[in-house]
Amino acid sequence: MDFDKIINRLGTNSYKWDGLEKRLNKKGLLPLWVADMDWETPHFIKDAILQQIQNTPAMGYTIDPDEYWPTVAQWTREHHAWDVQSEWLTYIPGIVKGIGLAISCLTERNEKVIVQPPVYHPFFLTAQGLGREVVWNPLRPIRDDEGRLTGYEMDFDNLAAVCDDKCRILILANPHNPCGITWSRETLMRLATFAHEHKLIVISDEIHCDLALFGHRHTPFASVSQEAADLSITFAAPTKTFNMAGIVSSWAVVPNETLRNRFYSWLSAMELNEPHMFAPVATIAAFRYGEPWRKELVAYLEQNIDYVIEFCRDHIPAIRPIRPQASYLVWLDCTQLGLTQEALVQLFEQKAGLLLNEGSMFGKEGEGFMRLNVGCPRATLTQALTQLEKAIG
């Protein structure tokens, strides 16, 4: 795979590229926002889809291929040391939709959902859109001796203070988007104990799980203890790793039988757990043939991240990238620029010609930050950083 190769995604109905104008009404900006990558989806996935089309004379209703769930279970066991039983798994039509479905099924309108900002915005937008009150437990910044932000940790003191008996669900980003954290086993165990004591269900969104970087490891929440397994719904997918979000192929894992029956029977009543015909074949191909590709991707992403960190250190020291432990989203600390959020966005868009996700969309704790997607060829990053350097002057 040539990760340096630039592809043209314009005119393909790409949200990241075409949506810029069609959804945001913005023109001529270099898009480094939506979380997909500017590389061709691996050929072994496209080939599997093409083969499915060629070998299927009539595109009628389908059943899951026999190897679907065993392949997912094997990947999860081998990559994340978590022994998932096939019957714990079910298809879901996208993880954001899965979160909305779980909230709808498992909470009443007067109940509450806890999120830990700055965090992937659909966590709270979905809950709010469904009429549930959101309870905020912001991550606690970790700073070095000179007061510079180096990372974040979960704030268990505040969690205890804000969690009341109307709280039913806590949504965990594991690994965390946008801050790129692979949570430690100790933190996850502590969270499981807290959730058990407060009768919370933890929804663990593990979509970025296959992209742990720089020697970090992903730990599935449900794997850390029996308590965690019993009170959790895990969502995962190959869609980030293999750049196939448009295929919409994701699943839930619910080890606890009572919780599983409650959630899955509800999904099943609406056939929301029935995959479309390309989801299983794309997933099986990704996991059967994708490991060498994934390893190359991780190596390239690590180099991209090093490049951004070094570039900023040498040329734009007022912007400090927080080194992610997973995935291709880099949290840029721009607070030293001393700009209002509006002026910061203006600097990136109008002066530098770049479209990033502004930090405040992930919660007010994200003010002064921007999220940079480095899932692109190095040359694209060079262009973006050079434009930014010039804009800052």
Ligand X SMILES: Cc1ncc(COP(=O)(O)O)c(C=O)c1O
Chain residues that interact with ligand X, rule: CB under 6 A = 35, 94-96, 120, 173, 177, 205, 207, 237, 239, 245, 250
Question: How far apart are the C-alpha atoms of 184 and 221, rounded to whole Å?
Answer: 10
**Angle 74-87-47 from CA coordinates, rounded to 5°:** 50
Q: Which is nearer to ligand X, 127 or 237 (CB)?
A: 237
Q: Which is nearer to ligand X, 311 or 331 (CB)?
A: 331
How far from 209 is each of 9, 85, 244, 328, 342, CA to CA, in Å? 26, 18, 15, 12, 33
Nearest approach, Cβ of residue 35 and ligand X (Å): 3
Question: How far apart are the C-alpha atoms of 77 and 81, rounded to whole Å?
Answer: 5
How far from 98 is each of 9, 102, 106, 184, CA to CA, in Å? 28, 6, 12, 25
Q: Which is nearer to ligand X, 173 or 191 (CB)?
A: 173
Nearest approach, Cβ of residue 201 and ligand X (Å): 17
Question: How far apart are the C-alpha atoms of 290 and 328, rounded to whole Å?
Answer: 18
Q: Which is nearer to ligand X, 126 or 227 (CB)?
A: 126
Which residue blocks in the chain are alpha helix, DSSP H?
A: 19-22, 43-55, 68-80, 95-106, 122-129, 156-162, 185-197, 226-230, 257-269, 278-289, 291-315, 341-346, 378-392
Nearest approach, Cβ of residue 316 and ligand X (Å): 25
Nearest approach, Cβ of residue 327 and ligand X (Å): 8
Q: Which is nearer to ligand X, 116 or 239 (CB)?
A: 239
Specify the residue for token string 């996700």: 357
Whole-angstrom distance between the N-terminal and C-terminal Cα of the chain?
A: 36
- Return the exposure string of 123-151: e unless at least 16 CB atoms fall within 10 Å of the residue's CB, then b: bbebbeeeebebbebbbebeeeeeeebeb
Phi and psi dihedrals of 47, rounded to 5? -60, -40
Q: Which is nearer to ligand X, 254 or 316 (CB)?
A: 254
Nearest approach, Cβ of residue 311 and ligand X (Å): 24
Q: Which is nearer to ligand X, 73 or 207 (CB)?
A: 207
Question: How far apart are the C-alpha atoms of 40 and 3, rounded to whole Å?
Answer: 9
Nearest approach, Cβ of residue 45 and ligand X (Å): 16
